[in-house]
Amino acid sequence: MIACMDVGYRDGDRGVIAACVCFAAWSDGMAAREITRRYREPAADYVPGAFWQRELPYLLDLAGEAETHSSAPLQAVIIDGYVWLDAGKPGLGAHLYDALNARVAVVGVAKTKFHGATTAREVRRGASTRPLFVTAAGIETGAAADNVRNMHGTSRIPTLLGLVDRLSRE
């Protein structure tokens, strides 16, 4: 099983929405399962250089939920963001990979370039000239980039990444 995960923040004290879309193959266009969790408490404050601390608890909660209710083991998690930042500095994805005891590959798909992310692979999809930036742990970055390139959909953002983004904003 593969899972796309995203976390959305609400203004003020309206809390957090964490979403997960599970599917069997990278090319799938429909989710096998959708998970949405609403948390009433406001998100932790953003701390520069420690963004991962803000999102990691929600992603771990989603991973546990996805694994609990699936007959297939979790093979990969796709997040909106970076696995690795500059000079091998761990980003959100690397912290998630470690928290999952390095047993589940983590693929980061970012929409904007992080200037120090030297290991990011650019992926262009559809007719878009703007790339996505892919980093990974537990899977070779080139293979992760190929998987993202081959995900369902004709636009820059793959279908299921767009779906999880919408779910985390609702």
Q: Tokens 């767009």 map to which residue?
A: 162
Are 14 and 38 in contact by the 8 Å Cβ rule? The answer is no
Residue type, 103: R
- Residues 8, 168 contacting (CB under 8 angstroms): yes
Q: CA-CA-CA-CA torsion for 105, 160, 148, 101, nearest 10 degrees?
A: -10
**Structural element, H or E, at residue 108:** strand 105-110
Residue 81: Cβ within 10 Å count = 21
The CATH number assigned to the domain with range 2-169 reads 3.30.2170.10
* Angle CA 45–50–55, to nearest 5: 65
The SS3 of residue 158 is: coil
Percent of the chain with pLDDT over 90: 72
- pTM value is 0.92
**pLDDT band with cut points at 50, 70 and 90 for residue 164:** very high
C-alpha span between 66 and 35 (Å, rounded):
8
pLDDT of 53 > 80? The answer is: no
Buried/exposed code over 38-74 (b: 16+ C-beta within 10 A; e: otherwise): eeeeebeeeeeeebbebbbbbbbbbbebbbeeeeeeb
Q: What φ, ψ does residue 162 adopt, rounded to 5°?
A: -65, -40
Domain boundaries, the chain: 2-169
Query: pLDDT for 81-125, tens place per residue?
Result: 999 987 778 999 999 999 999 999 999 999 998 876 678 999 999
